[in-house]
Amino acid sequence: MKIDRIETFLVPPRWLFCRVETDDGVVGWGEPVVEGRAEVVRAAVDVLAEYLLGQDPLRIQDHWQVLTKGGFYRGGPVLSSAVAGLDQALWDIAGKTYGAPVHALLGGPVRDRARVYAWVGGDEPTQLAEQISAQVEAGFTAVKMNAAGATSPLATVAETAAVVARVSAAREALGPYRDVAVDCHGRFTAASARRVLTELAPLHPLFVEEPVLPEHGHLLPGLVAASPVPLATGERLYSRAEFLPALAAGIAVAQPDLSHAGGISEVHRIASLAETYGAQLAPHCPLGPIALAAGLQVAFAAPNFLIQEQSRGIHYNKDADLLSYLVDPEPFRFVDGHAHRGDAPGLGITLDEAAVRAADRTGHRWRNPVWRHADGSFAEW
């Protein structure tokens, strides 16, 4: 069996899908994308496809080595995401070839359902309580929210109070025994984060995510030591090597993205690395159905899985949502806040190929907003 054809599809709301077909007619799907840079990743996939065409698709690990390291220059979001999407597609092909779900090929299931969380609130939510009530009604036992909008490098008393007030409102709406995770999006400096983390502790967040930017990862050891709440990070880390210092710093939760951190192959290895530090796995996934399916396959095989992000109804999903390109939404029918393990081969989902091709004709030009502080200077989004 040989890889015969590799195509990419730029589809709303902000995704890029890839489709890999073999000369036997087996088709695998992947989601190689960096949010806001989809066209750049598409070009990277086109370059990597030159190597894969004509190759045996079942040599996944060998292809991962060559695609990741064979170009001499390596790493970073664009190349790692291009490899990630192709890796997902190759695992999908392997599963369909062997008649097994990917988690069976990763060593077999270690759980029968995987906890997922829902998003509430954009960056300036006005109806947090109503949104939380709706998610609780839908069965979710955990939600995630942004901590703050644009925040001064040294958060003011008003900004700090606003963060605490928003998380307090969420805690009140959730009640004492459902979970809230708080995403800082790297908008705090370490000094601000230390103060905010202390004030959030009485609200018992499940974890606080990206308290500082990835380039300030060298400050994580001090932050972990000062933090009374578990810290999470990883959506902007792209390999085991980049997770190693964060794990050694003592983060509680590793959040690799299946579409950024080298795909199923590398995220499964990151999970194992995290296990040696007693850290839990909570894959980042504000993306589409293929990335989520890949995350769930790892979730069913990784002993230290904690919870999976998913994008249904997320504020980014305009013009299309998680289920828009699926023939059957059943794999993402969450019951009691959990996705249930299926036995369909490969990634376990079936794409509506006609819908994908039609959507690609429209495409998208999604870009994240550029924020400014009140004085006109650049603000982290």
Instruction: Give 35 or 183: the residue with its C-beta nearer to Mg ion.
Output: 183
Instruction: Give 65 or 368: the residue with its C-beta nearer to Mg ion.
Output: 368
Kind and range of the H or E run holding 27: strand 27-30
Build a one-symbol-per-residue string for 232-251: x at contacts with Mg ion by CB under 5 A, - elsewhere.
---x----------------
Instruction: Give 233 or 297: the residue with its C-beta nearer to Mg ion.
Output: 233
At closest approach, how far in Å is the CB of 260 from Mg ion? Answer: 12
Build a one-symbol-per-residue string for 188-227: x at contacts with Mg ion by CB under 5 A, - elsewhere.
----------------------------------------
At closest approach, how far in Å is the CB of 234 from Mg ion? Answer: 9
At closest approach, how far in Å is the CB of 132 from Mg ion? Answer: 18
> Which residues are catalytically annotated?
185, 284
The structure tokens listed for 196 are: 């905010």
Kind and range of the H or E run holding 290: helix 289-301
Instruction: Give 27 or 224: the residue with its C-beta nearer to Mg ion.
Output: 224
Stretch of residues binding Mg ion (CB under 5 A), selected from 229-237, 295-303, 304-312, 355-363: 229-237
**By the 8 A CB rule, do 40 and 77 touch?**
no
Sequence-ordered list of residues with C-beta below 8 angstroms from that of 65, at least 6 positions apart, any chain: none
**By the 8 A CB rule, do 262 and 74 touch?**
no
Examine residue 309 and tell whether it contacts Mg ion (CB under 5 A). Answer: no
Q: How many CB atoms lie within 10 A of CB 359?
A: 22
Instruction: Give 256 or 348: the residue with its C-beta nearer to Mg ion.
Output: 256
Q: Compute the distance between CA of residue 160 and CA of residue 162 in angstroms, rounded to an integer.
A: 5
Looking at residue 168, the DSSP 8-state letter turns out to be H
At closest approach, how far in Å is the CB of 187 from Mg ion? Answer: 11
Three-class HEC string of 10-71 = EECCCEEEEEEEECCCCEEEECCCCCCCHHHHHHHHHHHHHHHCCCCCCCHHHHHHHHHHCC
Stretch of residues binding Mg ion (CB under 5 A), selected from 176-184, 197-205, 348-356, 369-377: 176-184
At closest approach, how far in Å is the CB of 21 from Mg ion? Answer: 34
Q: What is the CA radius of gyration of the chain?
A: 20
Stretch of residues binding Mg ion (CB under 5 A), selected from 181-189, 224-232, 312-320, 357-365: 181-189
**By the 8 A CB rule, do 33 and 287 touch?**
yes
The structure tokens listed for 138 are: 């839908």
DSSP H helical ranges for 53-189: 60-69, 76-98, 102-105, 128-137, 157-174
The structure tokens listed for 31 are: 């989601």
Examine residue 266 and tell whether it contacts Mg ion (CB under 5 A). Answer: no
Q: Total residues at the site for Mg ion (CB under 5 A)?
A: 2
Build a one-symbol-per-residue string for 50-89: x at contacts with Mg ion by CB under 5 A, - elsewhere.
----------------------------------------
Instruction: Give 35 or 235: the residue with its C-beta nearer to Mg ion.
Output: 235
Examine residue 183 and tell whether it contacts Mg ion (CB under 5 A). Answer: yes
**By the 8 A CB rule, do 4 and 22 touch?**
yes
The structure tokens listed for 316 are: 């980014």
Where on the chain is the footprint of Mg ion (CB under 5 A)?
183, 235
